[in-house]
Amino acid sequence: MSRSLAGKAAIAGIGQTEFSKASGRSELQLACESIKSALDDAGLAPRDVDGMVTFTMDSSEECEVARNLGIPALRYFSRTTYGGGGSCAVVMHAAMAVATGAADVVVCWRAFNERSGMRFGGAAMQGASMLPPFLDMYGPYGLLTPASWVAMQARRYMHEYGATNEHFGRIAVVDRKHAANNPGAWFYQRPITLEDHQSSRWIVEPVLRLLDCCQESDGGVAVVVTTPERARDLKQKPAVIRAAAQGAYDDGEMCTSYYRDDVAGLPEMAVVGNKLWKDSGLKPSDIQTAFLYDHFTPFVLVQLEELGFCKRGEAKDFATVERLSIGGELPINTSGGLLGEAYIHGMNGLTECVRQIRGTSVNQVPGVEHALVTAGTGCPTSGLILGSS
């Protein structure tokens, strides 16, 4: 028996709420709505569910979700760490549960009011006098936001490889181009040009402008994971897990891995990528489309390198708008990504890749056999390869 998850689980359903800036309802309600929507999509009922995986950061308790949906018995429940870094790990955990028989039908979700409720980005620090311990070595000096943590690392990448903020801007243009064609995206029908990007204000100079940073959104996204055999008997074409991996690396921190010999890379993503290629038996040229987690544009370039789509330092030349857009060699973030569609901690990139496998995306890539999905970067992360069979 092969010791990998390849072919042992599948995503049978996807669901979501609308994506907004003020949902007007509780995070628990968003979680329940998105899970019900995913079960309806699969053709399953809440009573069929016996497993749950969400993020450690998610505010909805498993038992509260179960008692709202009417899920009678849970046999497996777990959570994944490091925020958006766990957005593929939830599926990996669910797939492991399904593959081992710990559970038969596992729902994974992320639901939050990240814009109208508790915002990230240091807003909570505005009235604070003391720092949480993980910020002890950064907060006193004014490095208080995810944008600034990422920018310090990306600034070194720019120095070593000659990448500029304009190179990063191409990712924003690609995402907004795809979002412009997605009625569910916040930035539907609002594409941008590289000039728009270059004239947007600095958030962290000289690395990140406003249009390099993902949105803040309210919403919920859920998926249903079960065995490929069961998935084939349900309503939708299954998106089969060809590989799934988490990755952390030596001397790392949550978002401030500044102490390694090499600060310009994302070795966590290399850990993930190496495992994905090994377990799937695939190579980068076998991937037709990808969601590359785009909380901040520079790390999309670094991911292209760490995953082997191009060589170290070459992403600034590889990552052209043409290559990464619909019709190009490697269309990415076809729903608009976290910049263009919504920021649901990566889960909306995952569901878009499921649609690509099904052939139902608004920006459908022809003949998708394999889609690559990544999770939040700069921190411990995760990734998936989904297949059409």
Q: What amino acid occupies position 272? A: V
Piece in contact with other proteins (CB under 8 A), picked from 17-25, 128-136, 179-187, 319-327: 128-136
Residue 206 in the binding site for other proteins (CB under 8 A) = yes
Contact 87, 110 (CB under 8 A): yes
Residue 145 in the binding site for other proteins (CB under 8 A) = yes
Residue 271 in the binding site for other proteins (CB under 8 A) = no
Closer to other proteins by Cβ: residue 125 or 270: 125
Residue 143 in the binding site for other proteins (CB under 8 A) = yes
Biggest CA-to-CA distance, the chain:
57
Strand order in the sheet with 239-247: 76-80, 51-55, 106-113, 218-226, 10-16, 239-247, 381-387, 370-374, 289-291
Residue 203 in the binding site for other proteins (CB under 8 A) = yes
Burial of 195 (0-12, 13-18, 19+ CB in 10 A): exposed
Q: What are phi and psi of 57, to 5 degrees?
A: -80, -10
Residues 6+ apart with CB under 8 A from 166: 194, 197, 198
Question: For residues 242-261, which are near other proteins according to CB under 8 A?
Answer: 250-251, 256, 258-259
- Residue 37: Cβ within 10 Å count: 18
In order, the DSSP letters of 221-266 are EEEEEE-HHHHHTSSS--EEEEEEEEE--TT--SS----SS--SS-
Closer to other proteins by Cβ: residue 181 or 256: 256
Piece in contact with other proteins (CB under 8 A), picked from 74-82, 200-208, 286-294, 349-357: 200-208
Mark whether 138 is an active-site residue. Answer: no
Q: How far is the CB of 362 from other proteins (least distance, A)?
A: 32
Report the distance separating Cα 382 and Cα 23, nearest Å.
28
Residue 125 in the binding site for other proteins (CB under 8 A) = yes
Mark whether 161 is an active-site residue. Answer: no
Q: How far is the CB of 254 from other proteins (least distance, A)?
A: 12
Q: How far is the CB of 187 from other proteins (least distance, A)?
A: 20
Q: Which of 223, 186, 220 is nearest to 29 (CA)?
A: 220
Q: Which of 346, 383, 380 is nearest to 89 (CA)?
A: 383
Residue 70 in the binding site for other proteins (CB under 8 A) = no
Using the structure block, give the residue that is written with the tokens 């766990």: 86
Residue 63 in the binding site for other proteins (CB under 8 A) = no
Q: How far is the CB of 377 from other proteins (least distance, A)?
A: 17
Closer to other proteins by Cβ: residue 55 or 138: 138
End-to-end CA distance of the chain: 19
Piece in contact with other proteins (CB under 8 A), picked from 54-62, 132-140, 180-188, 234-242: 132-140
Which of 117, 132, 281, 327 binds other proteins (CB under 8 A)? It is 132
Dihedral sign of CA atoms 120, 121, 123, 128 in order: positive
Contact 319, 170 (CB under 8 A): yes
Closer to other proteins by Cβ: residue 3 or 201: 201
Which of 63, 118, 123, 124 binds other proteins (CB under 8 A)? It is 123
Residue 139 in the binding site for other proteins (CB under 8 A) = yes
Which of 1, 2, 73, 133 binds other proteins (CB under 8 A)? It is 133
Residue 148 in the binding site for other proteins (CB under 8 A) = yes
Q: What amino acid occupies position 384? A: L
Piece in contact with other proteins (CB under 8 A), picked from 155-163, 170-178, 342-350, 381-389: 155-163
Residues that bind other proteins (CB under 8 A): 121-123, 125-126, 128-133, 135-145, 147-148, 151-153, 155-156, 159, 201-207, 210, 250-251, 256, 258-259, 263
Q: Which residues are catalytic?
A: 293, 343
